[in-house]
Amino acid sequence: MNDPFAESYFVQDISKVLETGQWRWTARRPELRIYLDDVRGLSLMADLTVPDSGFAHTGPVTISFFVNGNLLDRLRFDKPGQRYFEKPVPEAWLRARWVNSLAMEQDKTWTSPDGIVMGFVLTRAGFAAR
């Protein structure tokens, strides 16, 4: 999230504010668009955190991971904390030499007193070779 060009990949629900030079807040369904030259042998990876402050309002949450609209997997947080997610993506779901979509949808969010929908903290997300 701290790449100088990170915002060019954002589609929705990812804050433009880079916190502590490392991470960004999300809302309900953060989505990234990522151009891929080659789609062979890729995994979806993400570093994310459900903070104590949000968990106090939502309780356990589940984050679903979508690749080009296909549900890849779900990650449940029964307690707040940081987690690393990685899972191979079926090659048939990806488009070579084209923009691909990576979305993460949280089943429950909370709204801050100033009206901002708060999801989870996103430090890193994308596709990586296995």
pLDDT at position 1 is 95
Domains within the chain, CATH numbers bracketed? 6-122 (2.60.120.260)
Q: Assign 104 to helix, strand or coil.
A: strand
Alpha helices of the chain — where are they, by DSSP H? 52-58
Q: 68-94, pLDDT tens digit by residue?
A: 999 999 999 999 999 999 999 999 999
Q: Above pLDDT 70, what percent of the chain?
A: 100
- pTM to 2 decimals? 0.96
User: Once rounded to an integer, what is the mean pLDDT over residues 117-123?
Assistant: 97
pLDDT at position 45 is 98
pLDDT at position 29 is 98
- Asked if residues 124 and 1 have their Cβ atoms less than 8 Å apart, the reply is yes
- The answer on pLDDT for 130 being more than 90 is no
